[in-house]
Amino acid sequence: MKRTYLGEFEEVVLLTVAVLHESAYGVAITDELDRQTGRSVSISAVHAALHRLEEKGMLKSQMGEATAERGGRRKRLFTVTALGSRALHDIRSMRNQLWDSISPNALPAISI
């Protein structure tokens, strides 16, 4: 199977969709990214990443119900597909393998 490359931002957006599960839509994803990373991102950057991830088959979306808080507009809700889940597990496995391969003295000590 051909692997699809994910950039750091796409990976974080995909993870955030997984975190939010059934509540993942543009604004909620943007807010959660800001909360989890301390990094302010624009809604348009999130929407662009969501579109790319959906084109790659890692996300799927459907329209939610209309809500009064949105003036009767519906939210586009995103969920992680099996391919997206596989990609996240593969990335995690690869990162863990790399971390486990670092010798104890390879990185300078840091104080937290």
| The pLDDT value given to residue 1 | 46
What pLDDT does 78 receive?
95
**The two three-digit tokens of residue 5, written as one number:** 């490359």
Task: Print pLDDT tens along the chain (112 aa).
Answer: 456 678 999 999 999 999 999 899 999 999 999 999 998 999 999 999 999 999 999 999 998 777 767 667 788 999 999 999 999 999 999 999 999 999 888 888 888 7
- Residue identified by tokens 């459907």 is 62
Give the count of domains, the chain.
1
pLDDT at 110: 83
Is 16 part of a structural domain of the chain?
yes
Judge whether 2 lies within some domain. no
Segment holding 29, helix H or strand E: helix 26-37
Determine which helix (DSSP H) or strand (DSSP E) holds 63, and give its type and residue range: strand 59-66
Q: What CA–CA distance (Å, rounded) separates 52 from 45?
A: 11
CATH assignment at residue 69: 1.10.10.10
First to last CA, the chain: 41
The whole domain housing 12 covers 8-94
> According to the model, what pLDDT value does residue 24 have?
93
Taking the CB of residue 27, how many other CB atoms lie within 10 A of it?
A: 11
Q: Which residue has the tokens 């996240």?
A: 88
CA torsion, points 84, 19, 32, 54, in degrees to nearest 10?
20
Asked if residue 3 is part of any domain, the answer here is no
Task: Tell me, yes or no, whether 100 lies in a domain.
Answer: no
